[in-house]
Amino acid sequence: MSFDKMNFKEAVQNRRSIYQLTKKSPISDDRIKEILSTAVNDVPSSFNSQSTRLVVLLKEEHTKFWQIVMDILKGIVPEDSWEHTGNRLNGFMNAYGTVLFYEDPAAIHALQKQYPQYSDKFPQWSEHTSAMHQYALWTAFETEGLGCNLQHYNPLPDEKVAATWEIPLEWSLKAQLVFGQPQEGARENLGKKNQKPLEERLKVYGA
């Protein structure tokens, strides 16, 4: 099943957080780029701000990113809790790639100027816009057999990352989607989804 073939319901139901990943990909880098391009072109944004910027790091570039995070955290995390943090970071490092989700504040400022009545709302809608891109890619990657997990190590590595990949310093990093071919059995061994009762979370009127 792939992005082109899986129906929407299957894709939504299949998406999970998978942490046991490998440095392999079941699809080509060109296919990854194609999926990223579809997300950038077709995921909606508030007032059509198109404020999302994606930086995609594959293979050695991906490893370099997680090494930056690890170096920074090593200086902060107490030694007696390092084992847990280090293991977690090694897990991310042992994946194939990471998508960095940024929002460009210039796009937000332009809208605030154009629509001052919504000025205080645009930063929040920018977060929503980023989340829509995150979800679309997470779901799309999983339809291709890539496993993903979503991380939030910003803002610790922001400056070093901006300098390393020539990313404008003013872009705001929101999240990191780690992806790779799952280790054997990783998807199958996931626990059942922990789902609170639907009745508490869904109300339908007028049906």
Ligand X SMILES: Cc1cc2nc3c(=O)[nH]c(=O)nc-3n(C[C@H](O)[C@H](O)[C@H](O)COP(=O)(O)O)c2cc1C
Residues that bind ligand X (CB under 6 A): 16-17, 149-152, 193
Nearer to ligand X, 51 or 139 (CB): 139
Q: Alpha-carbon distance 40 to 22, whole Å? A: 26
Other residues' Cβ atoms within 10 Å of the Cβ of residue 101: 22
Nearer to ligand X, 91 or 105 (CB): 91
Q: How far is the CB of 138 from ligand X (least distance, A)?
A: 8
- For residue 100, list its beta bridge partners: 55, 176
How many residues comprise the chain? 207
Q: H/E element holding 147?
A: strand 147-151
Q: Alpha-carbon distance 64 to 43, whole Å? A: 28
Q: How far is the CB of 177 from ligand X (least distance, A)?
A: 10
Q: How far is the CB of 39 from ligand X (least distance, A)?
A: 16
Nearer to ligand X, 43 or 150 (CB): 150
Nearer to ligand X, 198 or 204 (CB): 198
Nearer to ligand X, 1 or 163 (CB): 1
Q: How far is the CB of 5 from ligand X (least distance, A)?
A: 22
Q: How far is the CB of 97 from ligand X (least distance, A)?
A: 17
Q: Alpha-carbon distance 166 to 194, whole Å? A: 41
Q: Give CA 38 to chain center in angstroms.
A: 15
Residues 94/21, Cβ–Cβ less than 8 Å = yes
